[in-house]
Chain A
């Protein structure tokens, strides 16, 4: 080509690539001025006809975003016709949204990632009201609150325990649910002896299901102050503590050979199907999983839910905690529309009921999947909020110690030790965890 054309094309290419490389505002939704509402930064009550604009809602539910959520949006638009709701389903919700929060662009309504510490909440989210005010209407308000202000309302609530296949348990000859860990082990042994099913499936390879064991803390001793006390002790894994009981049960189940043959090749999606069909007998998961397993099951009536096999004074306890909390982006341009959606979603959409969970509203209806708990007389333990100034302390100690209560790493280590891959015994691991916890406490200067 001639010199002139070559030069021109070089300029064009440089311009085109430079323009695309910088400035990724293309995805931002257009904002229209909401008519008649004061834009003073705090979500005001506005009449339905006033609220308008476009909002983006982030969710981790990639499986139902196009179906269930689309239906909710249609229902929402009946009340707020001028609000345009669009959804963004994020597969790796925790990782991706945390990184996005370093910018201003993380949707208008989103779920608060679990890794955000309480003192960071005011930097990223809009305060929704005081804890006293909202605590009168909603459960689990203190879980994402700081300094008396609530920043997120739970989208649903979860009970904790084990999902089990009732048909398999009956076929093994078990008539009543276990009330102690020893009885639980004996029952699993019966399943191993009398049926073809894997008594308990750990989902070791997927990793995150191992964090579900952690949610049972507080219910073993029915102690709502368990987390605050954990931050004050140098040995949380001492004999008889909640963590000792939970992790010992995991160790003992694996050591007795009552789990899958090769944990490194487990698969989450097929495990749901297998639990539904009876190839697996039990899986430790929050109550949110009941609906998913029922959908994968040939006979949904086979699926049951049991609390952690432990009783205090003859009563079962199960920790109830909020699922992800819905919150409003502090940098949102449409806070009124966002608040309208948030209120609709937690109050009227029926999400918690559809997902088989505890309603976030105190006066709301719990899902039928938890009716079995009522029959067993299970009572819920809700962990108390930490004292002022200590929000997120237990989590900080946990991160500093690099233990990861909800991460898979330390429970994978327990499973590896139990199946003989590591030279450590249960006591060795607990001693090591305790010493790391103590070191982290002194590092952070906690008395």
Chain B
């Protein structure tokens, strides 16, 4: 199909043609310069600086930074108060299984034609949009003695179940992990829903003709189709569980046994002025997440799935 694109009727000379082509080809790169500059300035350069700080004993203010080699890394490996906090991340890690399970369940039943579909989708996704600080305050009131949770339990006759949800070390991490599940369920739900809806509808009809019920449809059509999204969500969830910070920090400041690795890093940097050690902790976390991502890539490689 011929399209008239020339603006003038003149045929441009060779150098002009070359210049025009250069301009056209370089346009996308000019657009890319902006995010790249921001990325380098605000991510890569600070991270490189952080690698440098991690081999010094800088306190965040001093004009001199003294090189100490791998002493900070040795501290992290040998001091239980620094590596022991990963235990708290386990609570959030196991909570993500519940989170993904619920998200998958809701996504599956809401991908078929259910009544009030849009309303439920909105309700499930809404918590993800709310600011983390607001959520922290809401749940502080929710969990306080005589607060919402205790009142609801009392209304259903469950007074015996009332306890200091945040004050008791045996329940505090479960409480905080459930806040995390509530908050991030919506994101996983939306991702799964999108993946499920990308499966061609014809497959369901064909399956129904062959006599498959909903469970068979899930097991043989939906599950294989959304495998890449599930494995991606899983890897994000593990990385998220290792770097949990916002909810325990805003709600409790890391007190009462809710300190996570990132909270410990922040405290080390800003409460004790050990920026060198804290930088080393951040580097350790980065390496751990990279290892986990690498493992996932090996176990569940990116495959091109075809369903038709």
In the bound complex, what is the Cα–Cα distance between A99 and B60 (angstroms)? 8
Contact B27 A95 (CB under 8 A): no
Which residue of chain A is the closest to B28 with respect to CB atoms?
Answer: A10
Chain A contacts of B167 at CB under 8 A?
A: 261-265, 419, 421
In the bound complex, what is the Cα–Cα distance between A99 and B61 (angstroms)? 7
Q: A3-B20, A262-B167, A265-B140 are in contact. Are A10 and B268 (CB under 8 A)?
A: no
Which residue of chain A is the closest to B147 with respect to CB atoms?
Answer: A265
Q: A262-B166, A407-B271 are in contact. Are A3 and B23 (CB under 8 A)?
A: yes
In the bound complex, what is the Cα–Cα distance between A13 and B34 (angstroms)? 8
Q: A3-B20, A3-B23, A408-B255 are in contact. Are A264 and B166 (CB under 8 A)?
A: yes
Which residue of chain B is the closest to A401 with respect to CB atoms?
Answer: B272
In the bound complex, what is the Cα–Cα distance between A416 and B257 (angstroms)? 9
Contact A412 B37 (CB under 8 A): no
Judged by a CB distance under 8 angstroms, whether B143 is at the interface is: yes
Task: Identify 5 new A-B residue pairs, CB closer than 8 A, beyond the known A265-B147, A419-B167.
Answer: A3-B23, A14-B31, A18-B34, A115-B61, A115-B273
Interface string of B23-55 (1 = CB under 8 A from A): 110110011011001100100000000000000
Q: A262-B144, A264-B252 are in contact. Are A13 and B31 (CB under 8 A)?
A: yes
Which residue of chain A is the closest to B35 with respect to CB atoms?
Answer: A17
Interface centre among A407, A409, A422 (most CB of B within 10 A): A409
Q: Which of A7, A117, A407, A412 touches B27 (beta carbons < 8 Å)?
A: A7
Chain A contacts of B7 at CB under 8 A?
A: 2
Chain B contacts of A14 at CB under 8 A?
A: 30-31, 33-34
In the bound complex, what is the Cα–Cα distance between A121 and B113 (angstroms)? 69
Contact B33 A399 (CB under 8 A): no
Which residue of chain B is the closest to A207 with respect to CB atoms?
Answer: B253
Q: How far is the CB of B179 from chain A (nearest CB, A)?
A: 14
DSSP majority for the A interface? Answer: helix
Interface residues of B in 146-182 (CB under 8 A from A): 147, 164, 166-169, 172
Which residue of chain B is the closest to A13 with respect to CB atoms?
Answer: B34
Interface centre among B20, B24, B268, B272 (most CB of A within 10 A): B272
Judged by a CB distance under 8 angstroms, whether A24 is at the interface is: no
Which residue of chain B is the closest to A101 with respect to CB atoms?
Answer: B61
Chain B contacts of A124 at CB under 8 A?
A: 61
Judged by a CB distance under 8 angstroms, whether A21 is at the interface is: yes
Chain B residues close to A by CB (< 8 Å): 7, 20, 23-24, 26-27, 30-31, 33-34, 37-38, 41, 59-63, 81, 140, 143-145, 147, 164, 166-169, 172, 252-253, 255-257, 267-268, 270-274
Chain B contacts of A99 at CB under 8 A?
A: 60
Interface residues of A in 65-110 (CB under 8 A from B): 95, 98-99, 101-102
Which residue of chain B is the closest to A208 with respect to CB atoms?
Answer: B253
Contact A404 B27 (CB under 8 A): no
Interface string of A108-145 (1 = CB under 8 A from B): 00000001110010011000000000000000000000
Contact A409 B267 (CB under 8 A): yes
Q: How far is the CB of B104 from chain A (nearest CB, A)?
A: 33
Contact A399 B272 (CB under 8 A): yes
Chain A contacts of B274 at CB under 8 A?
A: 399, 402
Q: A264-B172, A404-B272 are in contact. Are A204 and B30 (CB under 8 A)?
A: no
In the bound complex, what is the Cα–Cα distance between A421 and B167 (angstroms)? 8
8 A-B residue pairs with CB within 8 Å:
A4-B23, A7-B30, A95-B270, A262-B145, A264-B172, A399-B272, A404-B271, A412-B255
Chain B contacts of A263 at CB under 8 A?
A: 167, 256
Judged by a CB distance under 8 angstroms, whether A205 is at the interface is: yes
Judged by a CB distance under 8 angstroms, whether A6 is at the interface is: yes
Which residue of chain A is the closest to B7 with respect to CB atoms?
Answer: A2
Which residue of chain A is the closest to B38 with respect to CB atoms?
Answer: A21
Interface centre among A115, A123, A422 (most CB of B within 10 A): A115
Chain A contacts of B256 at CB under 8 A?
A: 263-264, 412, 416, 421
Chain B contacts of A10 at CB under 8 A?
A: 27, 30-31
Chain B contacts of A261 at CB under 8 A?
A: 145, 164, 167
Contact B268 A11 (CB under 8 A): no
In the bound complex, what is the Cα–Cα distance between A268 and B129 (angstroms)? 28
- Of all A-B residue pairs in the complex, the 6 with the closest CB atoms, nearest first, are A265-B144, A10-B30, A262-B167, A264-B166, A262-B164, A421-B169
